[in-house]
């Protein structure tokens, strides 16, 4: 079977209840850049944010009628300095775990997956969902 020409994930769609509040969290607490913010002809707003230099972005979209909000998005971000980012997010008032989960710590569940601190990681909660930041 021939392979496709898909090279990477481009945009992850994250349902939110309030786009401005979500942008404030991602730009303010996480330091992401707002890359796009426009309104389609039908009145639907599209907002994209991403870590500086990242090729994959998050689209923060208003959940459609009946679609769940406040779900575990199951989005994981990589960090080159997990300890520094954990401390920075705590200092900025983000809702982060008290400690970084490391190998040998009690196992926790996230998005149906078992997390055992390999690689080291911590959870951070945005206004509508739950994200993970992990070290390399």
Domain, as residue range, for 104:
11-135
6 in a domain, yes or no?
no
Q: Considering the domain boundaries, does residue 1 fall inside one?
A: no
> Among 64, 65, 75, 68, which Cα is nearest to 26's?
75
Tens of pLDDT, residues 11-45? 988 889 899 999 999 999 999 999 999 999 888 99
Between CA 58 and CA 50 the distance in angstroms is 6
Cα–Cα distance list, 66 to 31, 49, 69, 135 (Å): 31, 24, 9, 35
Across 20-40, b (16+ Cβ under 10 Å) vs e yields eebbebbeebbebeeeeeeee
Q: For residue 107, give the CATH number of its domain.
A: 3.10.180.10
Rg (alpha carbons) of the chain, rounded to whole number: 16
In a domain, residue 44? The reply is yes
pLDDT tens sequence across 51-104: 999 999 999 998 877 766 666 666 788 899 999 999 999 999 999 989 898 887
**Coil, strand or helix: which one is 74?**
strand
Q: Is residue 3 part of a domain?
A: no
């Amino acid at each position: 079977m021939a392979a496709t020409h898909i090279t990477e994930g481009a945009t992850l769609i994250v349902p939110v209840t309030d786009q401005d509040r979500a942008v404030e969290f991602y730009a303010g607490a996480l330091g992401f850049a707002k890359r796009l913010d426009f309104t389609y002809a039908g009145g639907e707003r599209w907002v994209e944010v991403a870590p500086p230099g990242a090729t994959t972005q998050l689209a923060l979209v208003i959940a459609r009628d009946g679609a769940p909000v406040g779900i575990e998005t199951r989005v994981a971000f990589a960090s080159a300095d997990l300890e520094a980012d954990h401390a920075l997010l705590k200092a900025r008032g983000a809702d982060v775990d008290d400690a970084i989960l490391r190998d040998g710590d009690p196992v926790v569940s996230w998005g149906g997956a078992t997390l055992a601190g390999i690689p080291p990681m911590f959870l951070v909660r945005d206004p509508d969902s739950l994200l993970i930041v992990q070290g390399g």
